[in-house]
Amino acid sequence: MTLLRFSAVCGLAAAAVGCTREATFTEPLPPLAGIHWINAVPDTGQQDIRVIDIVSNAGLFDANFRGSNMFYQRIEAGSRTVRIFNSSTDPVIASQILQETTVPVTANASYTFIHAGFARTGGTPARTVLIIPDTPPTPAAGQVAVRAINAGAGLGNVDVFVVRKAVNPATSDSLPDVPAAANIAFGAAGAYINAAVDAPADSMRIVFTTAGTKTVLAAVLAPFGVAGTTTVNPIAGSRIAQSVLTAVLVPRSVAGSQAPAAFTTPSAVYLVDRRPPNTAP
C-alpha cells in the first residue's frame, strides 16, 4: 500500500514537472511578412479573404466594399494560396469562391492585396486581384512620405496631387500645374512622394484627378496621426514625422448592388506602410 501511494505521488510530481516545462516553452515564430488587405469591388456584398494552404490567421473577414486593415497583418512566408469567398451565415453562400490566387510571400517584405474591379458580368475592368509589393522609404526628419494606388474601377488613369489646407482641393484652378504623380493606370502604384510634416493648422489631402486634367475625382484628407510620449508610441499620420502612408483610390458604390449605398462618390482608403520611430521604451 505504501509503495502504491509513493508511486502515485511520484507520478503526479512528474506530470506536474512535465506540464510546467511545456507551459514555459516558447515556440519559435516562422518567417513572416506584412500584408494589407482591401475589398475594392464596388458592386457586390461582403467578402472573406483568407489563406487556405496552411493554418493561418492572415485574412480579412466580413469585409464590405472599402473594408481594409490600415496596419500590416502578419502572414507566413512562402507560396500562399488565398481564396476570396462570399461572406454569409448561409453555408451555401459562404462556400462560393469568388477568386483564388497564389501569393509569393518573402520573409520581412510587405505587400498590399486588393480585390478590385467589377463583379457584375460585362463590367470593365472585371474583378481581379492586385498584389503590390510595398517598399516604403525612411523619410528624413521633419518629413513624411505618401504614395497612391489606383484601384478605382471605371475611373481610368489618374494624376495625383498633394495639397494643404490653404488650397481648396475641390477647385481645379487651385491645384498645382504639375502633379506629384502622373498617369497612374488601374492596378498600378505610383512612387512614394516626400512631403513636409503638417504644421498644427495644416491638413494634407491627396487629390486624384482624371489623367492630364484637373478634373477632381476625389480629394481625401490624410489621417493626422498621434504624437508619441515616453509611455505610448506614436501612430502614423501626416503630422507625425517619418510616417509613410498609401492612399488607395476606390470608386463609388454601384447603385442597386449590395455594396454600401452611402458611398456615392470616389474616395481613398489610407494604409500605414511605415510607422514613425518608437518613443516609448
Q: pLDDT digit of tens for each residue in the chain (281 aa)?
A: 444 443 444 454 444 445 555 667 677 889 999 999 999 999 999 999 999 999 999 999 999 999 999 999 999 999 999 999 999 999 999 999 999 999 999 999 999 999 999 999 999 999 999 999 999 999 999 999 999 999 999 999 999 999 987 666 666 667 999 999 999 999 999 999 999 998 777 789 999 999 999 999 999 999 999 999 999 999 999 999 999 999 999 999 999 999 999 999 999 999 999 999 999 98
Total domain count for the chain?
Answer: 1
Residue 16, in any domain of the structure: no
Buried b / exposed e along 208-239 (16+ C-beta atoms within 10 A) = bbebeebebbbbbebbbbeebeeeeebbbbbb
Q: Is 204 helix (H, G, I), strand (E, B) or coil?
A: coil
pLDDT for 16 equals 47
Residue 17, in any domain of the structure: no
Q: Is 58 helix (H, G, I), strand (E, B) or coil?
A: coil
Measure the CA–CA gap between 50 and 38, rounded to whole angstroms: 12
Buried b / exposed e along 162-184 (16+ C-beta atoms within 10 A) = bbbeebebeeeeebeeebbbeeb
Residue 13, in any domain of the structure: no
Buried b / exposed e along 74-105 (16+ C-beta atoms within 10 A) = ebbebebebbbbbbeeeeeeeeeebbeeebeb
pLDDT for 6 equals 38
Measure the CA–CA gap between 23 and 28, rounded to whole angstroms: 14
pLDDT for 111 equals 98
> Which range marks the domain in which residue 58 is found?
32-274
| Cβ 143 vs Cβ 195: under 8 Å | yes
Residue 206, in any domain of the structure: yes
Residue 81, in any domain of the structure: yes
Residue 12, in any domain of the structure: no
**Three cell numbers written together for 114:** 486588393
Residue 8, in any domain of the structure: no
> How far lies 120's CA from each of 63, 64, 155, 257, in Å?
18, 16, 16, 9
Residue 201, in any domain of the structure: yes
The residue among 56, 160, 151, 156 whose CA lies nearest residue 113 is 151
